[in-house]
Structure 1
Amino acid sequence: MDDLLARDAVPEGYRVEIFDGEVIMTPQSPEQDWTVNEVRSAVRKAAVPRERVFGDVLVRFPGENDAAPDLTILAEGAERHGDSYDCMDVLAAVEVTSRPDDDKDYVRNVAKYARFGIDLYLIADPFKKLCTLMTEPHATGYAKVKEIPYGEPLTLRLITGERIEIDTSDFPVRD
């Protein structure tokens, strides 16, 4: 991944990840961008400092492929390593599916994020018009999984005590 980025081998408007040995290159849809912006706006309203919130920035997972969640919220004092951060500093990861029943977001990311102790994982799915909020990570997944239909309010409770209220009624949908 570092080599691709260093050579500017990523076309503008595309997102590239190496996941389980596969290079995944997808353009971001308008729905993904709008949804991430809605979540980011809610995070700012909750007064989480911008230095702790970013999108599509590399997160390092020791011994595994790195990831770049659509939106990441870090712990206070997270240390920057070049243009990346360590997964142990991630409090929450948000992903917006780019295709229906996205195996990467619903299966592989669930296992990986939980295994590395990311306390909160939110999937926003514009195809299902549904958010899936996962908490209480363990070795193979999350102990608590809650589905919130688009249009209903959603609250993210970080382990820091911060509460992020998200209005999902403006989340865009796809057919």
Structure 2
Amino acid sequence: MSADAVMRTEFPAGYVVFFGIDGKVVMCPRSKEHSGTIRSMQIHSLALGRHSKVISTVYIGFPPEEISAPDLTILREDAQRQGKRHGFEDVLLIAEVV
């Protein structure tokens, strides 16, 4: 989908839209329950300690050239960004809320 087409497109309310580097458009419905579940997982992750790296909907690079933004990701303590995103090598856990 071109940038012009994206700017003119009205996406349905209640959806989050992701654009992949390969031109894929992914639409995910969101709800109060979805958000609440992610928030609950974030709160429970505090048991891992204050230095744990817990991120939500942040792009992670996976081979071969796949990029995903999981609902919740727990990274190693020493995880560092590789350019604009984190690498899969630093991932300890990924959770997707369906």
TM bin, normalised by shorter chain, reads 0.7 to 0.9
The answer to whether 1:53 aligns with 2:54 is yes
What amino acid is aligned across from residue 32 of structure 1 in structure 2?
A: H
Number of residue pairs the alignment of both structures matches? 90
Percentage identity across aligned positions? 32
Matched position secondary structure for 1:76: coil
Q: Which ranges of structure 1 fall in alignment gaps of 5 or more residues?
A: 98-175
Instruction: Indicate the residue corresponding to 1:95 in structure 2.
Output: 96
Matched position secondary structure for 2:77: coil
Going from structure 1 to structure 2, the CA distance change for 1:20 and 1:95 (only over 3 Å counts) comes to farther
The answer to whether 1:85 aligns with 2:77 is no
The Cα shift of 1:59 comes to 0.1
Structure 1 segment 149-168 matched on structure 2, within 5 A: none
Instruction: Indicate the residue corresponding to 1:62 in structure 2.
Output: 63
TM-score by length of 1: 0.43
Encode CA deviations 1:30-88: one digit per residue, 9 max, x unaligned: 111100111110001331525x1110000001323210000000012111134410011
Matched position secondary structure for 1:53: strand
TM-score by length of 2: 0.72
2-structure distance, mates of 1:22, 1:31 = 26
Larger relative contact order, structure 1 or 2 (CA cutoff 8 Å, min sep 6): 2
Encode CA deviations 1:78-134: one digit per residue, 9 max, x unaligned: 11134410011100001001xxxxxxxxxxxxxxxxxxxxxxxxxxxxxxxxxxxxx
Q: Which ranges of structure 2 fall in alignment gaps of 5 or more residues?
A: none
1-structure distance, mates of 2:27, 2:77 = 31
Instruction: Tell me how large the CA RMSD over aligned residues is.
Output: 3.1
Instruction: Indicate the residue corresponding to 1:37 in structure 2.
Output: 39
Instruction: Indicate the residue corresponding to 1:100 in structure 2.
Output: none
1-structure distance, mates of 2:19, 2:97 = 14
2-structure distance, mates of 1:84, 1:28 = 23
Do the aligned partners of 2:37 and 2:97 also contact (CA within 8 Å) in 1?
Answer: yes
